[in-house]
Amino acid sequence: MKKPTAIALARDEEIVACVPQYVSGPGWANAPVWVYIRSGSGMRSVCIQPMEQSSEMHTLFAAGAAMCSALKNAVPVKRKMEPAL
């Protein structure tokens, strides 16, 4: 197993969310953790692949993915009829 990835944070940055996500398509599957980082100048995200995740991330992944999915599905959404630009 590869050494877990350490994310470099600037002085004014903080991690505001980590989203474990099961994704797949025909013939492939993945389980990355998306890390969202906020600073005074905006937001950025970092994708941590399974082989770069810490043992704690692997342990919490399934529960975190279930919670994130449930929270996402709980957000009230009103779809517009016109396509997005």
C-alpha triplet 38, 41, 46: angle, nearest 5°: 40
The secondary structure of residue 50, as a DSSP letter, is G
Using DSSP's 3-state secondary structure scheme, residue 61 falls into helix
* Position 19 confidence tier, pLDDT thresholds 50, 70, 90: very high
Question: How far apart, in whole angstroms, are the C-alpha atoms of residue 45 and residue 15?
Answer: 9
pTM of the model: 0.85
**Domain spans of the chain?**
14-71
| Model pLDDT for residues 21-64, shown as the tens digit of each residue | 999 999 999 999 999 999 999 999 999 999 999 999 999 999 99
Question: CA distances (Å), 43 to each of 4, 29, 34, 36, in order?
Answer: 23, 27, 13, 7
Query: Which of 32-36, 59-63, 70-74, 78-82 is the least confident region?
Result: 78-82
Do the beta carbons of residue 17 and residue 23 sit within 8 Å?
no
- Indicate whether 80 pLDDT > 80: yes
